[in-house]
Structure 1
Amino acid sequence: MLDSMFKDTMVNMKWTDIESYANKKALVLIPLGVIEEHGPHLCLGTDILTAHVYCLSIKEKLEQEGYNVIIAPPFYWGVCQSTGGFIGSFRIRKETAKALLFDILASLAEFGFTNIFGVNAHGDIEHSLAIIEAFKDATEKLKINACYAFDEWRLPHFGFSGNEPYLCPIELQSIVVSTAEVSDVHGGDIETAIIHKFYPHLVDVEKAKSLPPVALDDDKVEQWLFGGHIKELSSDGYLGTPSNYESVDALNYVSDYTYRISKAIIGRIV
């Protein structure tokens, strides 16, 4: 069990510790997420806590390959477009998120870090665009290797080839981790399983077990993605099958996903 999303990050270090990592040309991982509702059973910090879990696992895998790795403070003031109508979803403007993230990347560059990788656990389109644009600007303006780990299957939807220097394409998942008929879009069985595994005190398990599956009709997907009539689409603010969380092998899922991210990062180190 983890007790804080600041565990093993710069937040808990002295400045001299960070200087030591910079002198060793360490790779930097930035956990990326938002603060938003995740149904009546999960905490608002689900995405950023998950990104932190990913970064801890990626750090371990990269260190096993001989790399020095440090985790930056979690970036959680991202864009909540799809859930913006719910209490608890902080609605940060895209331009604000982009500018803040660029300033963080600029600070890391000033500290002496030249290989910086973003690891995200929030799927909002505007959120992803804000990250991509910030990393692109950092790559071009700061002359550093600022690279965002982005799922390969999503690249065509955003008009990217995967060869962009500011993107690390993550290979497709090949394992099956969920038996649910209604897949996890938001606050479903996989997200619930991850938080329950690493932050069990932040899951209302009795509530999760009581929730029926909620799915979207194909013609409603865009409404959800772009924040239209979302309470009509999911009155409790989740899409998926939270009650199935005990059937999900959270450790295997995290290990597989972070292995693929680690592989993508290694391919982009300069």
Structure 2
Amino acid sequence: MRMEELTWEEFEKIKAKVSAVLLPVGSVEAHGRHLPLGTDVFAPLEISKRVEKKLKEKGIEILIAPPIWYGHSFVLNVYPGTINVKADSLRRYVRDVLREFAEESFSKIVILNGHGGNVYPLIEASEEVAESHDVEIILINWWIDFREEILKICSSQGHAGEDETSVMLAIAPELVRTEKAKGEKRSSPVRVIRRDIGLELFPNGVNDDPQGATKEKGERILEVVSERIATLLEGLL
């Protein structure tokens, strides 16, 4: 069930019945010329819905919280439409959201992250709340934690690449400009921090070749990832 669709009375009754609250977190940023700016939220939101359905079939209820849309995206801030939030601002904001859920008596909070730049701020925010509240926070970075499974479906993995493009073709094909799906894999032997480094590492906002993407691959990714997460949570909730 979606938290934003409840009244406060319904929320008060439901929160005592659910095993956890699931918080999707993503970013608004460039994803090549072919994917929408909200890709990193659309993916965890869709996975959240599938996880909820699978857990419900097992008799486990969870509450899906409204997503946190804006994330830390320094590297891709060179492209129009990327709304970059400083890492410390994101850490403090997420910390306050997590704290509120803890104070609403949720003992388990699942963060489903869809964006790489968020990882360290999310860890730090979770640690702060866990130090001061009796709560267990489970952080899932879906494309990292299930990389092995994804690479059995796709030949490569990368920003706006084959895996993400496939997932978006499965979620919202009308938002994918397939005729503009072009890119290549780029890397650096060390981390280089420079204001315009994104132009070098993410030409046109891409770091992978998306041309092998298909809706069928995206559906397989969504299914295997949501199944793995549901199984994982079944053992933890």
Normalising by structure 1, report the TM-score.
0.79
- Pair 1:233-2:226 in alignment: no
Structure 1: 5+ residue runs without aligned partners? 1-7, 155-169
Contact between 1:86 and 1:237, CA under 8 Å: does it hold in 2?
A: yes
Contact between 1:177 and 1:248, CA under 8 Å: does it hold in 2?
A: no
Moved more, 45-54 or 99-108: 99-108
- Pair 1:191-2:164 in alignment: yes
- Pair 1:95-2:110 in alignment: no
- Pair 1:144-2:117 in alignment: no
Please report how far the alpha carbon of residue 246 of structure 1 lies from its aligned counterpart in structure 2 after TM superposition: 1.9
Q: CA RMSD in A?
A: 2.4
Report the 3-state secondary structure (helix = DSSP H, G, I; strand = E; otherwise coil) of the residue aligned with 2:63: strand
2:24 is aligned to: 31
2:12 is aligned to: 19
Report the 3-state secondary structure (helix = DSSP H, G, I; strand = E; otherwise coil) of the residue aligned with 1:140: helix
Contact between 2:51 and 2:226, CA under 8 Å: does it hold in 1?
A: yes
1:256 is aligned to: 224
CA shift in 2, pair 1:22/1:204, >3 Å:
same
2:211 is aligned to: 243
1:215 is aligned to: 185
1:52 is aligned to: 45
Report the 3-state secondary structure (helix = DSSP H, G, I; strand = E; otherwise coil) of the residue aligned with 1:267: helix
CA shift in 2, pair 1:234/1:173, >3 Å:
closer
1:107 is aligned to: 100
Please report how far the alpha carbon of residue 67 of structure 1 lies from its aligned counterpart in structure 2 after TM superposition: 0.9
2:123 is aligned to: 132
CA shift in 2, pair 1:11/1:89, >3 Å:
same
The whole-number CA distance in structure 2 between the counterparts of 1:56 and 1:132 is 23
Matched pairs, number: 236
Please report how far the alpha carbon of residue 90 of structure 1 lies from its aligned counterpart in structure 2 after TM superposition: 1.2
Please report how far the alpha carbon of residue 9 of structure 1 lies from its aligned counterpart in structure 2 after TM superposition: 2.2
Output one character per residue of 1:131-169: Cα deviation in whole Å (capped at 9) or x when no partner.
011111222212112221247x97xxxxxxxxxxxxxxx
More helix, by proportion: 2
The whole-number CA distance in structure 1 between the counterparts of 2:76 and 2:27 is 11
- Pair 1:177-2:153 in alignment: yes
Contact between 1:149 and 1:265, CA under 8 Å: does it hold in 2?
A: no
Please report how far the alpha carbon of residue 216 of structure 1 lies from its aligned counterpart in structure 2 after TM superposition: 1.0
Which amino acid is the alignment partner of residue 200 of structure 1? P
Report the 3-state secondary structure (helix = DSSP H, G, I; strand = E; otherwise coil) of the residue aligned with 2:160: coil
Which amino acid is the alignment partner of residue 50 of structure 1? A
Moved more, 241-250 or 89-98: 241-250
Normalising by structure 2, report the TM-score.
0.89
The whole-number CA distance in structure 2 between the counterparts of 1:248 and 1:178 is 11
Contact between 1:80 and 1:89, CA under 8 Å: does it hold in 2?
A: yes
2:234 is aligned to: 266
1:4 is aligned to: none
The whole-number CA distance in structure 2 between the counterparts of 1:62 and 1:227 is 43
Contact between 1:83 and 1:237, CA under 8 Å: does it hold in 2?
A: yes
1:82 is aligned to: 75
The whole-number CA distance in structure 1 between the counterparts of 2:39 and 2:121 is 20
2:112 is aligned to: 119
